[in-house]
A = this chain, B = another copy of it.
Amino acid sequence: MTRRTRGTSAGLDRARIAAAAVALVDRDGLDRFGVRRLADDLGVDPMSIYHHIKGKAALLDAVSEAVIAEMEAGAEEWPDDWEQVARRTAHDYRRMAYRHPRVFPLLATRPQSSPAALAAVERLVAAMRRAGLPDQVTADAPTTLFGFLNGYLLAVLSGGPGGPADPPAIDAAAYPTMAALAPLQSGFGSPAEFDRLLGTVLSGIRHQAAR
């Protein structure tokens, strides 16, 4: 792609830049992400990007916002039952994380305040309140749930883009119990494991509500 001459439009805007940035991080990872590489992908001078987005940090904000917004595209019908809302939100979040494993650390590290993120939380707490759960339990639930989701998905995705890294062999002499349990860890990163652990967290919330 050849450069435009000065003054002619390159058709840049925030959305197009963000989409290209997501694609670049997906392809090369966060370490290799940079303004110059992004400009290359866009067929544009690096400094042109600065007319739409203030700097590298704002660029990364745009990336995480774009990726969160993907979650919102889907059915608009949500169940009444808060546990179903939580499960579906969690699964949507997981799918998004697997679609963009190299973007995900960005989400887990920065506080999320985009409309899509806030809408998901509002949906969950509204359903919990409708169900008559205690206010403190309801207020804590998103922090607990997304805390778990972020930490767990970070661990599962840290092995690379394809899926989780298989854990290294365990020294059976030093860590006998871990070694004995190793066969049960075989599904690390699997949907079944995710469902199991999610169920554990949700049952914790359910039982706090019942006390």
A residues at B contact (CB < 8 Å) = 105, 108-111, 113, 115, 118-119, 121-122, 125-126, 129, 135-136, 138-140, 143-144, 146-152, 154-155, 158-159, 165, 167-168, 170, 174-178, 180-181, 184-185, 188, 193, 196-197, 199-205, 207-208
Contact = CB atoms under 8 A, between A and B. Distances in A.
Contacts of A119: 175
Given A111-B155, A118-B170, A122-B178, 17 more contacts: A108-B108, A109-B109, A109-B158, A111-B167, A118-B175, A118-B178, A125-B177, A140-B193, A140-B196, A143-B197, A144-B201, A146-B151, A147-B152, A150-B155, A202-B204, A203-B207, A204-B207
Copies in the complex: 2
A53 to B, nearest CB: 18
A208 B206 CA distance: 12
Contact of A184 (B135, B177, B180, B188): B135
26 contacts: A105-B109, A108-B108, A108-B154, A109-B109, A118-B178, A121-B178, A122-B177, A125-B177, A125-B178, A125-B181, A135-B181, A135-B184, A139-B181, A140-B196, A143-B193, A147-B152, A147-B197, A148-B152, A151-B151, A151-B154, A200-B204, A201-B201, A201-B204, A203-B203, A203-B204, A204-B204
